[in-house]
Structure 1
Amino acid sequence: MINVYSEIGPLRRVLMHRPGNEIMQLYPYMLGEMLFEDTPFLPAAQAEHDAYTAILRNAGVEVVYLRDLFAQAMNVPEARAAFTREFASASRVPSRELEDRVVAHYDSLSVEDLVEAVFCGIRKNDPAFADVQTLGGMARKEDVFLVNPMPNCYFTRDSSVNVADSVILSHMTKEFRRREPILLKYVHTYSDLFRDDPTQDLYNMDEPYGIEGGDVIVLSDKAVAIGCSERTDPGAVEHVAKSLFAKGYEAVYAFDIGRDRFAMHLDGMLTMIGYDTFIYNPLIEGKVSVFKLTPAANDGITTVAASDDWSQVLAEALHVPAVKLIPCGGDGDDVRSLWEMWNMGSNVLTIRPGEVVGYDRAVVTLDLLDKAGITVHTFTGAELSRGRGGARCMSMPLVRDAI
């Protein structure tokens, strides 16, 4: 069951992924392609992640793991057969004959070993493929992997996002992450948690337009904000808007934040932490255009330019006179603001109104939150942050109470 009608309702259940051996497949010469800044030390990254989940459990949140739900789905024979072919095809194996060998290899594994192989990839020198005589296996000797690993999976916010009683299965923009939503597709249909009531998908990952969960902010049960960013395209926003309007939503606000590296996702710029309170990054000042999408006749969409003042747009969407804005890194120091933004100072997870979880390194932002009366639980993210994500990125709410 999915029940997410806000960013701030008391969090009851969350989907996460504890970093595993896929982190050890990070290849230093491919870090940019793999979307990491550096190679995390796995035991330390796992300890940091465990500290994060302990905070959530102590707050009464049920933590469920992607790996467990995916394994449950792979215990369903028809799901496993469909998944292995779809996943191998999406992995861009160099030839059809070699793809068939990859599928046969997956089919020979236990569920536990299959799950490990999906996350960790298949090396080109894997002994199981030593006898390969296909051109796809013999050529391109410089390749390290036959099937790429998925080291970014611990950022569960990006590969899908839950809105209302449904899910948006992402179309990931970057090649190394493009297969992650396939796992979520099978989780939302075949895992124990969803098998009796599969989740409706509000998008279609086969559409040509990119969309990622980090760009979606569920403002209320009537309004959603979506970033047009480095990772999310206008065409996807329009598609999702139509799906949301069919569910009774009244407005989608498209925040055009540009396609620079600092504008990877909207949640790196803006996070809702209270009924009328947001953390924001001062770098977006003067750089954001907002467009309001509303339902039109014949399943159409009306799109208008909203106010130049994006804070006024948020106030309108929330039906409040004004919103309270807490600047990430404070005001007046561009270097400090950029430093704390880069270290995910505005990327916190709200577990109930006025109570959040985040990294301990954004000290200026943490002090401002404390002065604003926000309760903050912190954990160290020295290793986890090497993948360019914070507490919100590493969590996908499944159930929130109403507010």
Structure 2
Amino acid sequence: MTTPIHVMSEIGKLKTVLLKRPGKEVENLTPEIMERLLFDDIPHLSVIQKEHDAFAQALIDRGVEVLYLEKLSAEAIDAGNYKEKFVERILDESNLETKPVREGLKKYLLSFDTQEMVDVIMAGVRKKDVTIESNHLSDISEEEVYPFFMDPMPNLYFTRDPAAAMGDGLTINHMAFEARNRESLFMEVIMDHHPRFAGQDVSVWRDRNHTSRIEGGDELILNDKVLAIGISQRTSAKAIEDLAIELFDNNSNFEKVLAIKIPNVRAMMHLDTVFTMVDYDKFTIHPGIQKNNGEVDTYILEKGEKPGTVKITHRSDLQEILREALDVPKLTLIPCGGGDAIIAAREQWNDGSNTLAIAPGVVVTYDRNYVSNDLLRRHGIEVIEVASSELSRGRGGPRCMSMPLVREDLPAR
């Protein structure tokens, strides 16, 4: 295996993963801007960093190579001699109102070495930190009305969403909300300029310049032929259809996409908040996405007769659809919280269904979801628990916090 990205399943042994250590950006949240930046609470920085470090160490202890988004971004910018151009691009996407503000910010950001600059951009730039030479009071007033020239990016520690590995390539995503759209620029720069990825024939199945929205939390690689993608609050049906056509028409190994409709609510923002694969024939599932008879609206996309088209079949028997797609004699859906109305809702809110498989039948979960974790163990799954009092405040679990770059292929069964 020589390609820098290679992911043909959700459960193959994890070899390399991309993380982002929470930084100053989560401490730059205030009650007034939490909703704008898609947070429900303000994490305690030192504790969330300790919890994230423990999560990373749990992966390292199992032989996983851990890479960090902030470090790769700085290395890519330096390797591509791209510092000034990167600043120009981030300023283009930061909704700056006047030329003096733009010029002041550019000078400020370029005054740092590259790693510091990346960290400052991710953390957000406060008005009080930048000197603006202007005759307009609106430019030079410190914290009037709104404290930031450039918003913090507190969601960055959820590396799953801005880009998603898929086969020997990836999608670099146009995200649903403005608060997160700048995040995928880091991955684009890494792919274009970092020596580990640039010139390595990595397929970009979909770039960030599309207008329809898609996020990595909705993209699941069931096996080397079949994807499952959520039609959700964050991913549109059009984006899924466009991606399927791109994959089918460009000789990817994927032959089928299962588009799974989930409720359009924040508590279930991505497919992986309600549904993840934990073994060859086992999934976690939040009962809240199923109708009374256990059905889930699912649209099966396959290559059409003509280029640029797909054949779409609607079914609702999700368990049977998955069993057929994975070619297993029996398939088990393990209900979050054991299916109890209160426990399931509580543990799903705290990402009880958001497991990260690091090998077949071995998953990383949050320790707070003890009912779901015990049920996984009773189904023969090895559960590695990590502390989550602060990590969970961002509404994402171990799968959300990780972008697998390389997994071992599953052996033939």
TM-score, normalising length: structure 1: 0.95
The equivalent of 1:330 in structure 2 is 338
**CA distance in 2: counterparts of 1:173 and 1:96, whole angstroms:** 28
The 3-state SS of whatever aligns with 2:211 is coil
The equivalent of 1:402 in structure 2 is 409
Greater mean deviation of Cα atoms: 310-319 or 151-160:
310-319
- Structure 1 gaps of 5+ residues are none
RMSD over aligned Cα atoms: 1.7
Give the count of matched residue pairs: 401
**CA distance in 1: counterparts of 2:306 and 2:108, whole angstroms:** 49
1:352 is the counterpart of 2:359: yes
1:33 is the counterpart of 2:33: no
**CA distance in 1: counterparts of 2:106 and 2:329, whole angstroms:** 57
Equivalent residue runs for 1:239-258 within 5 Å: 239-245=242-248, 246=250, 247-258=252-263
**1:108 Cα offset (Å):** 2.8
The equivalent of 1:7 in structure 2 is 10
1:137 is the counterpart of 2:139: yes
1:252/1:59 Cα in 2 relative to 1: closer, same or farther (>3 Å)?
same
The equivalent of 2:369 in structure 1 is 362
**CA distance in 2: counterparts of 1:76 and 1:133, whole angstroms:** 38
The equivalent of 2:197 in structure 1 is 194
**CA distance in 1: counterparts of 2:136 and 2:271, whole angstroms:** 44
1:50 is the counterpart of 2:70: no
Out of 263, 269, 272, the position equivalent to 1:267 is: 272
Q: Are 2:131 and 2:140, in contact at CA under 8 Å, matched by a contact in 1?
A: no
The 3-state SS of whatever aligns with 1:129 is coil
1:235/1:99 Cα in 2 relative to 1: closer, same or farther (>3 Å)?
farther
Opposite residue 395 of structure 2, the aligned amino acid is R
Out of 377, 381, 398, the position equivalent to 2:384 is: 377
Q: Are 2:100 and 2:134, in contact at CA under 8 Å, matched by a contact in 1?
A: no
**CA distance in 2: counterparts of 1:382 and 1:269, whole angstroms:** 20
CA deviations 1:339-395 (Å, max 9, x no partner) are 010010010100000000010011110111111110000011100111110000000
CA deviations 1:90-116 (Å, max 9, x no partner) are 111123442233233322321122112
The 3-state SS of whatever aligns with 2:164 is strand
Equivalent residue runs for 1:254-333 within 5 Å: 254-286=259-291, 288-331=296-339, 333=340
Out of 82, 87, 95, the position equivalent to 1:84 is: 87
Q: Are 2:274 and 2:285, in contact at CA under 8 Å, matched by a contact in 1?
A: yes
**1:262 Cα offset (Å):** 2.5
1:93/1:367 Cα in 2 relative to 1: closer, same or farther (>3 Å)?
same
The 3-state SS of whatever aligns with 2:186 is helix
CA deviations 1:58-105 (Å, max 9, x no partner) are 111011111110110121354223221111111111234422332333
CA deviations 1:278-302 (Å, max 9, x no partner) are 0000001117311111111332333
**CA distance in 2: counterparts of 1:12 and 1:76, whole angstroms:** 25
Q: What percentage of aligned pairs have identical amino acids? A: 38
The 3-state SS of whatever aligns with 1:317 is helix
**1:192 Cα offset (Å):** 3.3
- Structure 2 gaps of 5+ residues are none
The 3-state SS of whatever aligns with 1:344 is coil
1:94 is the counterpart of 2:101: no
Q: Are 1:252 and 1:294, in contact at CA under 8 Å, matched by a contact in 2?
A: yes
Opposite residue 60 of structure 2, the aligned amino acid is R
**1:16 Cα offset (Å):** 0.3
The 3-state SS of whatever aligns with 2:157 is coil
TM-score, normalising length: structure 2: 0.93
The 3-state SS of whatever aligns with 1:341 is helix
1:134/1:303 Cα in 2 relative to 1: closer, same or farther (>3 Å)?
farther
Equivalent residue runs for 1:113-262 within 5 Å: 113-126=116-129, 128-134=130-136, 137-138=139-140, 141-197=144-200, 199-245=202-248, 246=250, 247-262=252-267
Greater mean deviation of Cα atoms: 337-346 or 192-201:
192-201
**1:135 Cα offset (Å):** 6.8
The 3-state SS of whatever aligns with 1:273 is strand
The 3-state SS of whatever aligns with 1:393 is coil
Q: Are 1:306 and 1:313, in contact at CA under 8 Å, matched by a contact in 2?
A: no
